[in-house]
Amino acid sequence: MLLLRNCPEFVLAFLGASFRGAAVTMANPFFTPAELAKQAAASKPKLIITQAAYVDKINDFAVSNGVLVMCIDDDYSSSDEGVLRFSQLTQSNESEIPAVKINPADDVVALPYSSGTSGVPKGVMLTHKNLVTTVAQLVDGENPNQYTRPEDVLLCVLPLFHIYALNSIMLCGIRAGAAIVIMSKYETTRVLEVIEKYKVTVVSIVPPILLAMVKSEDVERYDLSSIRMVVTGAAPVSVELEGALRAKLPHAKFGQGYGMTEGGPLAISLAFAKEAMEVKSGACGCVIRNAEMKIVDIETGASLPRNKSGEICIRGNQVMKGYLNDPEATKRTIDKEGWLHTGDIGYIDDDDQLFIVDRLKEIIKYKGFQVAPAELESLLIAHPHISDAAVVPMQDEAAGEVPVAFVVRSNGSKISEHEIKQYIAQQVVYYKRIHKVIFTDTIPKATSGKILRKDLKARLAAAGVVN
């Protein structure tokens, strides 16, 4: 397990473990100890590589389960002499390491966690073949989708524990022979300073960061002329935000990427050409190379013609092996013919360009991070003063979406909104926190017992509730 903020050691550890045939699960350093223990219990790591600031978060689990902990900070001091040092790896004799045989098509190399189309986070088994295919789709050949060149300088401010940065920045940058500037955290002014200082040419970000940069008055103070391409992903970019970016950086090309942890990149909007070529505003571009895409009717599953909205499905060698220890969830996501059902609604127009218009899946996207309503609902219902609950997204300009909870109090309970927010905040990472609580008498459900989230979203819209 890698429990690290962005740093060179993340890259070294991931590639070193991959070379040795190990599988790597990546965890968010901002997770609570309970969240980290849950991921570790499911993924069963033998070694956890982390930083001094996070040793205490994971050490109890590691000691109880016989897991080794390694710290990248050589000056780390602790009464626990069992914590290893990363420098022990760099000082080892490589000639003493035995050869390892790897089956690229079957052996898992990365185990990021994703909530999929519904439910709680699950381990996504990505093989060597999956990741190699992704890199080849994006940067190899005469007509690459990402156009990364050896002379490029890539900005890596997105978290490497997320598949977007791992794939599109780290692995693709290394494959192309480009330089990568790694930032441990995001601060708008610092990002602008880095772009100017290192003459960054390719900026891969998410819409909330793009919005912050566009709105920042500091943009005018820095020389950003080195940027030739801006690519966003993880959430859609509005036409208005795209226009604001073009006004700030008229010399740079802009593209949107569309992908998912389980299926790799699905489409990218810089098109097929020997040079990056922009496509229609609001489009995600064309389907990625060496992959198949179809749009199907959400009721019948039948393939739909152009300009008809339905569920987006993808098939190709970049699609995951499956969910860790969850064959049922895998079957619900990947059908018998190998099509991965994304849970996103979209259409392909007459020019082969993909537009996303809605989402079937329940996942809330907070600044590109996944928030599973089911995970928050289980915590809410566990509270003795709450008899039922449902969580839905609310639109937010800065974050994209934020979680809102509809709560049914237990008989006689007077639990407040503040108390509920605090209760959740103590148990989850910051981006999963509840932003608003709405008390209700009942949670609307279908006869199957499934929460009717559309009804709750309609209530939010009708009440004009905004963050």
168-182, 298-312, 350-364, 412-426: least confidently modelled range: 350-364
Residue type, 351: D
Least confident among 172-176, 260-264, 374-378, 403-407: 374-378
The whole-number average pLDDT for the span 7-32 is 95
pLDDT digits (tens, 9 = 90+) for 270-285: 655 556 566 677 788 8
The three-class DSSP label of residue 379 is helix
Task: List the single range of 115-124, 154-163, 247-256 with lowest mean pLDDT.
Answer: 115-124
Residue 424's φ and ψ, nearest 5 degrees, are -75, -45
Percentage of the chain lying above the pLDDT 90 cut: 57
Specify the DSSP class assigned to residue 288.
Answer: P
d(CA 419, CA 401): 22
Q: 437 and 423 in contact (C-beta within 8 Å)?
A: no
Residue 456 phi, psi (nearest 5): -70, -40
Amino acid 285: pLDDT:
81
Q: Indicate whether 467 pLDDT > 70.
A: no
In order of their start, the domains of the chain are: 2-101 (3.40.50.980), 126-359 (3.40.50.12780), 364-463 (3.30.300.30)
Please tell me which residue, 362 or 204, carries the higher pLDDT value.
Answer: 204
Per-residue pLDDT, averaged over 134-151, amounts to: 79
| CA distances to 230, 328, 370, 436 from 249, in Å | 9, 47, 29, 36
Q: How confident is the model at residue 116 (pLDDT cuts 50, 70, 90)?
A: low
Q: Tell me, rounded to whole angstroms, the distance of Cα 114 from its chain centroid.
A: 8
Find the mean pLDDT for residues 227-234: 87
pLDDT at 466: 58
Whole-angstrom Cα distance, residue 260 to residue 71?
30
Q: How far apart are CA 24 and CA 6, in angstroms?
A: 15
Predicted confidence (pLDDT) at residue 398 exceeds the cutoff of 90: no
Q: Are strands 229-232 and 369-371 parallel, antiparallel or unpaired?
A: unpaired
Instruction: Report pLDDT digits (tens) over 432-466.
Output: 999 999 999 999 987 656 788 889 988 988 877 65
Question: Angle of helix 55-65 relative to helix 33-43, nearest 10 degrees?
Answer: 40
